[in-house]
Amino acid sequence: MTRVFSGIQPTGEVHLGNLLGALRNWVRDQHTADSLYCVVDLHALTVPQDPVELRSTTRQLAQLLLAVGIDPAVATLFVQSHVDEHTGLAWIMECTAAVGELRRMTQFKDKSDGASFVSGGLFTYPALMAADILLYDTDHVPVGDDQRQHLELTRDLAIRFNNRYGDTFIVPEATIPPVGARIMDLQQPTRKMSKSADSPQGTIGVLEDLGAVAKKIKRAVTDTDNEVRFDTDAKPGVSNLLSILGACTDRDPASLADDYTQYGPLKADAADAVCAVLEPIQARYAELDADPGAVDDILSGGAAKARAVAGPTLARAREALGLLPAR
């Protein structure tokens, strides 16, 4: 059976980009593949975190993944720091990656540029991500477009390790959705929607009040020529609305454009479609609120299942490297 693995950081609120670019595909894949989904709390440590907040956002994110539709009966849901093998293999991946490769990562460049403190972990972040993926003999990694470069590096590291030490890792592939892989900020449509946006008006939270969501979409930046056409370079704002509507309704954004002659109706339909997607997620999230212990139980079962796969893979890598086994 095909193995799928993916992860999401417990920082900031989960937004529409996360949902349409990644999480919806996690839910789809769990029915056809052996799927593992991970709240990557160790990745969040690359910048200083408030301990109380980190603990609660980690649990809340797991709850949200369940609300989105991850079913613990078919998929394995767990927290990265509960499975020690991630850090064990991360060191090996750091020693497999070249400094030049890590320096070329655009995410590192973006996040370190102008920052007053840049941790060593921010630099080696992609080695931990490679470890996450390779530990589970992963075939496919459903992610948004911004993770493409990290996936390429993961493949390069797996191939390099296999060439040096013999076949040890499966070389994984990114699965990036044709629609919704790069949802843009509603106010600055040339920048991707992100947790760290300048203005909250540009980002839609998955748990946000639906009235506020509709308002944000209706106030989204477009342009002045009033022509509805899918052209991400010339018309980034309108194209983003078409992508959002297309991703929510399973339609092709370019052909959707033919249905509209004005921006108003496009915005109204996009707002309705987004609210229709978010409403059941918010209802399930509220139901799960009633029983926080249930989330912890699911995470504990998930970690046990994850360890059972990760342990033998790490042992295989150590053996290939010539590390003396402990007796």
Write out the residues near ligand TYM by the rule CB under 6 A.
5-9, 17-18, 21-22, 40, 43, 129, 132-133, 141, 143-144, 146-147, 150, 181-183, 192-194
Element (H, E) at 274: helix 263-289
Region label for 252, one of left (φ > 0), alpha (ψ between -120 and 50) or beta (otherwise): beta
Tell which residue, 25, 65, 31, 58, has the closest CA to residue 43. 58
Please give the Cα distance from 91 to 100 (Å, whole number).
Answer: 17
Helix (H) or strand (E) holding 4: strand 3-8
> Which residue lies nearer to ligand TYM by CB, 129 or 277?
129
305 is catalytic: no
Smallest distance from ligand TYM to CB 190, Å: 12
**Of 111, 216, 267, 305, which one is the catalytic site residue?**
111
CB of 138 to ligand TYM, least distance (A): 8
Which pair of tokens denotes residue 174? 């990114």
Name the residue nearer to ligand TYM (CB basis): 171 or 327.
171
Helix (H) or strand (E) holding 309: helix 292-321
Structure token pair of residue 254: 């370019």
Going from the C-alpha of 115 to that of each of 112, 119, 167, 213, the distances in angstroms are 5, 10, 40, 31
Query: In the complex, what is the shortest distance from the CB of residue 262 to ligand TYM, in angstroms, rounded to a whole number?
Result: 26
CA distance 181 to 157: 24
When the beta carbons of 206 and 257 are compared against ligand TYM, the nearer one is 206
- Minimum distance of ligand TYM from residue 242's CB (angstroms): 14
Q: How far is the C-alpha of 288 from the C-alpha of 311, rounded, in Å?
A: 31
Task: Please give the single-letter amino acid code of residue 99.
Answer: V
Cβ proximity to ligand TYM: between 139 and 227 the closer is: 139
The active-site residue, picked from 192, 216, 267, 305, is 192
Residue 267 a catalytic site member: no
Report phi then psi at 296, rounded to 5. -60, -40
What is the secondary structure of 148-202 as a DSSP string? HHHHHHHHHHHHHHHHHH-S-S---EEE--SSSSSPBPSSSTTSB--TT-S-GGG
- Residue 195 bears catalytic tag: yes
CB-nearer residue toward ligand TYM: 5 or 260: 5
Of 184 and 256, which CB lies nearer to ligand TYM in the complex structure?
184
Smallest distance, ligand TYM to C-beta of residue 151, A = 8
Q: What is the spatial distance between Cα 245 and Cα 273, in angstroms, rounded to a whole number?
A: 6
CB of 45 to ligand TYM, least distance (A): 12
Task: Supply the residues annotated as catalytic.
Answer: 111, 192, 195
